[in-house]
């Protein structure tokens, strides 16, 4: 493969991902609105009221038609023209959803929406759902409309795929196709990569940040590997504050809005937040309440001297949009910080690094890479896609950039950190300052010292979910919600169909907002008080991939309960690291039964 064809292969990959996303979306977009309503793929509802203190909106949906809780959605307000043209009853609308969306006279702009909790009201006709993540402009629109005494109807649907992100990366690759770093390949294995180790010292709490800053004084780029719960956000905030004090411009970017909000609320950035010197892309109404003083980002990605601009990777990629380059040129920052960089493509890392005079890449190659569609496509091997998708690993193992690894965790208990060290050369330990108290839960699923538990259900039902697992998970939920209602709990699983079944079972009208049920690939970065990892009886190679398993077992401040319908200690298809981890867990009610692994792979 020639040098130019390697870059072209990367471009072909991103273009193909756009086609995959559009094909997946086509069935939704080309279906009539009334059919989508009956299939509950879109939902119509009403704005009931807003909660200004929290920046939330409460929506009213026909009984049993509300969207599932804690699953990201999009929302549009319906305009009068839609009813005038299409009819008063939405169940009579036979235009395609595509035609509806492309007509700006029918609806408002689109906003993100996160349904969070049910409000209990004695209304037999409607369910009331509190939602966050609404854009500031949409929230203010709802507020004005309600104050005017008007009714407002909305449509809620699954978000459109982020094709602009992929297209912007294609444009970057075209502009900088001669950049030598585009041709990077790992020179060593992860096991042979040995970053300099840094550890928290209570006598010098900012020692890690100061070490990184000294490196950035000498070097243009630095990598900071931050395993689970190592205080990355505080460290980054301290470094940013130093640059802002020197009247320098900083851009911080990551995959998700949640990570950006955790960053801006860190103590070192409090004075800059109060002074209005921190801005964020796509600022939502609840974020405006959550971080008082935060500003909406300015057009053209401009930031004043001494200010911080926070953006998701998706939004920041628009600097490479052809129109933005034509209108505004490329922005330049004194420091660019990429957080959760394991979720960035190689092109993303190179594109954002190009925007900064200095660049700090913060991530962990032992966390999950970006999610892509149909990763096993045969053509992807010819296009060298794995090198592109494993962006952080490629950059860390393919360059001589100075790298550090933090080896102390504030999140994990000593017992959990000891097992997690399996993935970090056995150099990883806990500096947890306060142990979580679960003494009221008096059974062996809540050990006082925390740690990792393993329970084999012996219930290999259907490869999706088992009754035994449901009962066990239900018992933990009841125990936690009755005795520690303010504690957070996550139920995670590798497979989407399993997660959907779990959500149907437990994210009901009476569910607490402290409960999260999601796939492993979507909870990276999350911290909870107790976690359950459920592994149903199929495809153990996917479920027990080293990085996926590491992410899943490192979310909890106290205990992670691994529930499996298959005997993990009897499988030959898992890595020695995962096998070692499971064997060192405290085993709860296990019988070592044999099982035919070929049957698992075929399911």
What is the DSSP annotation of 410-454?
A: SSS-HHHHHHHGGGTTT--EE--SS----TTS-STTS-TT-EEEE
Query: Rounded distance, CA 156 to CA 45, Å?
Result: 8
- pLDDT-above-70 percentage for the chain: 96
Q: What local confidence, expressed as pLDDT, does residue 598 receive? A: 47
Q: What local confidence, expressed as pLDDT, does residue 601 receive? A: 39
Please give the backbone phi and psi of residue 386, each rounded to the nearest 5 degrees, phi first.
-60, -40
Mean pLDDT of the chain: 94
Is 6 among the domain residues? no
Q: Which of 129, 157, 185 is the last residue of a domain?
A: 157
Is 557 among the domain residues? yes
Tokens read off for 74: 């999009």
pLDDT exceeds cutoff 80 at 25: yes
pLDDT in tens, 82-120: 999 999 999 999 999 999 999 999 999 999 999 998 888
Both 152 and 175 in one domain: the answer is: no
Nearest to 273 by CA among 305, 241, 311, 239: 241
Q: What local confidence, expressed as pLDDT, does residue 460 receive? A: 85
pTM: 0.93
pLDDT in tens, 371-404: 999 999 999 999 999 999 999 999 999 999 999 9
Query: Rounded distance, CA 317 to CA 80, Å?
Result: 35
Strand ranges in 158-306 using DSSP code E only, listed in sequence order: 196-198, 221-225, 250-254, 278-280, 295-296
Q: What local confidence, expressed as pLDDT, does residue 458 receive? A: 92
pLDDT in tens, 253-275: 999 999 999 999 999 999 999 99
Query: Rounded distance, CA 73 to CA 485, Å?
Result: 26
Both 130 and 204 in one domain: the answer is: no
Q: What local confidence, expressed as pLDDT, does residue 3 receive? A: 55
pLDDT in tens, 278-336: 999 999 999 999 999 999 999 999 999 999 999 999 999 999 999 999 999 999 999 99
- At residue 304's C-alpha, the angle toward residues 301 and 310, to 5°, is 50
Both 133 and 178 in one domain: the answer is: no
CATH number at 506 reads: 3.40.50.300
pLDDT in tens, 520-567: 998 988 999 999 999 999 999 999 999 999 999 999 999 999 999 999
pLDDT exceeds cutoff 70 at 591: no
Is 55 among the domain residues? yes
Q: Which of 112, 136, 157 is the last residue of a domain?
A: 157
pLDDT in tens, 400-434: 999 999 999 999 999 999 999 999 999 999 999 99
pLDDT in tens, 438-447: 999 988 999 9
Higher per-residue pLDDT: 597 or 471:
471
Both 324 and 191 in one domain: the answer is: yes
Both 455 and 541 in one domain: the answer is: yes
Both 86 and 171 in one domain: the answer is: no
Q: What local confidence, expressed as pLDDT, does residue 121 receive? A: 87
Is 271 among the domain residues? yes
CA distances from 52 to 286, 296, 321 (A): 9, 18, 35
Query: In whole angstroms, what separates CA 369 from the centre of its chain?
Result: 11
Is 15 among the domain residues? no
Both 283 and 369 in one domain: the answer is: yes
SS3 106: coil
Is 110 among the domain residues? yes
Is 16 among the domain residues? no
Write out the residue range of the structural domain in which residue 562 sits: 420-592
Both 386 and 467 in one domain: the answer is: no
Query: If pLDDT is split at 50, 70 and 90, which confidence band does 510 have?
Result: low
CATH number at 129 reads: 2.40.30
CB 146 within 8 A of CB 152: yes
Kindly give the interhelix angle for 207-218 and 232-245, rounded to the nearest 10 degrees.
50
Is 435 among the domain residues? yes
Q: What local confidence, expressed as pLDDT, does residue 594 receive? A: 42
Number of domains in the chain: 3
- At residue 410's C-alpha, the angle toward residues 435 and 543, to 5°, is 95
Q: What local confidence, expressed as pLDDT, does residue 500 receive? A: 87
Both 315 and 402 in one domain: the answer is: yes
pLDDT in tens, 577-588: 999 999 999 999
> What mean pLDDT do residues 502-524 have?
85
Q: Which of 108, 133, 157 is the last residue of a domain?
A: 157
Both 294 and 146 in one domain: the answer is: no
Both 58 and 192 in one domain: the answer is: no
pLDDT exceeds cutoff 70 at 602: no
CB 28 within 8 A of CB 260: no
Query: If pLDDT is split at 50, 70 and 90, which confidence band does 504 have?
Result: confident
Both 389 and 434 in one domain: the answer is: no
Q: What DSSP character marks residue 91?
A: G
């Amino acid at each position: 493969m020639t040098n130019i064809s390697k870059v072209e292969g990367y471009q072909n990959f991103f273009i193909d991902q756009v086609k995959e996303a559009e094909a997946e979306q086509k069935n939704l977009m080309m279906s009539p609105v009334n059919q989508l309503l009956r299939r509950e793929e879109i939902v119509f509802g009403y704005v009931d009221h807003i909660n200004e203190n929290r920046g939330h909106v409460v929506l009213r949906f026909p009984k049993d038609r509300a969207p599932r809780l804690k699953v990201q959605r999009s929302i549009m307000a319906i305009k009068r023209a839609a009813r005038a043209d299409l009819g008063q009853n939405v169940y009579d609308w036979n235009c395609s959803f595509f035609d509806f969306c492309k007509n700006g006279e029918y609806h408002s702009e689109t906003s993100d929406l996160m349904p969070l909790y049910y409000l209990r009201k004695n209304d037999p006709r409607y369910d009331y759902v509190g939602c966050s993540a609404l854009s500031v402009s949409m929230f203010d629109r709802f507020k004005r409309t309600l104050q005017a005494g008007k009714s407002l109807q909305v449509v809620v649907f699954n978000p459109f795929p982020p094709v602009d992100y992929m297209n912007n990366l294609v444009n970057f690759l075209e502009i900088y196709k001669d950049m030598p770093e585009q041709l990077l390949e790992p020179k060593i294995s992860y096991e042979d990569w040995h970053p300099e180790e840094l550890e928290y010292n209570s006598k010098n709490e900012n020692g890690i940040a100061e070490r990184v800053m000294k490196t950035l004084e000498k070097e243009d780029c630095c990598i900071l590997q931050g395993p689970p719960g190592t205080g990355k956000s505080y460290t980054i905030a301290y470094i940013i504050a130093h640059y802002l004090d020197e009247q320098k411009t900083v851009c911080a970017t990551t995959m998700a809005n949640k990570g950006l909000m955790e960053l801006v609320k860190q103590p070192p950035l409090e004075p800059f937040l109060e002074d209005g010197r921190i801005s964020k892309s796509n600022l939502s109404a609840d974020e405006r309440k959550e971080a008082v003083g935060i500003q909406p980002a300015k057009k053209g990605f401009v930031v004043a001297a001494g200010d911080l601009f926070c953006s998701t990777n998706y939004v920041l990629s628009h600097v490479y949009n052809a129109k933005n380059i034509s209108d505004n040129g490329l922005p330049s920052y004194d420091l660019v910080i990429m957080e959760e960089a394991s979720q960035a493509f190689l092109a993303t890392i190179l594109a954002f690094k190009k925007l900064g005079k200095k660049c700090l890449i913060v991530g962990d190659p032992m966390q999950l890479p970006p999610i892509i569609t149909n990763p096993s496509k045969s053509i992807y091997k010819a296009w060298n896609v794995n090198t592109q998708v494993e962006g952080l690993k490629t950059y860390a193992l393919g360059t001589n950039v100075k790298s550090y690894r933090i080896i102390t965790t504030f999140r994990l208990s000593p017992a959990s950190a000891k097992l997690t060290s399996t993935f970090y050369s056995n150099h990883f330990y806990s500096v947890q300052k306060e142990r979580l108290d679960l003494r009221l839960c008096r059974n062996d699923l809540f050990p006082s010292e925390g740690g990792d538990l393993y329970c084999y259900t012996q219930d290999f039902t259907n490869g999706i979910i088992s009754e035994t697992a449901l009962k066990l998970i239900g018992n933990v939920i009841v125990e936690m919600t009755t005795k520690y209602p303010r504690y957070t709990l996550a139920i995670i699983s590798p497979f989407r169909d399993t997660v959907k079944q779990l959500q149907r079972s437990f994210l009901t009208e009476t569910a607490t907002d402290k409960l999260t049920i999601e796939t492993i690939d979507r909870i990276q970065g999350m911290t909870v008080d107790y976690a359950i990892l459920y592994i149903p009886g199929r495809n153990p190679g996917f479920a027990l991939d080293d990085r996926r398993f590491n992410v899943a077992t490192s979310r909890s401040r106290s205990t992670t309960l691994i529930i499996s319908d298959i005997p993990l200690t009897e499988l030959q298809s898992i890595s020695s690291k995962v096998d070692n981890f499971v064997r060192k867990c405290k085993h709860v009610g296990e019988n070592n039964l044999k099982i035919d692994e070929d049957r698992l792979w075929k399911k």
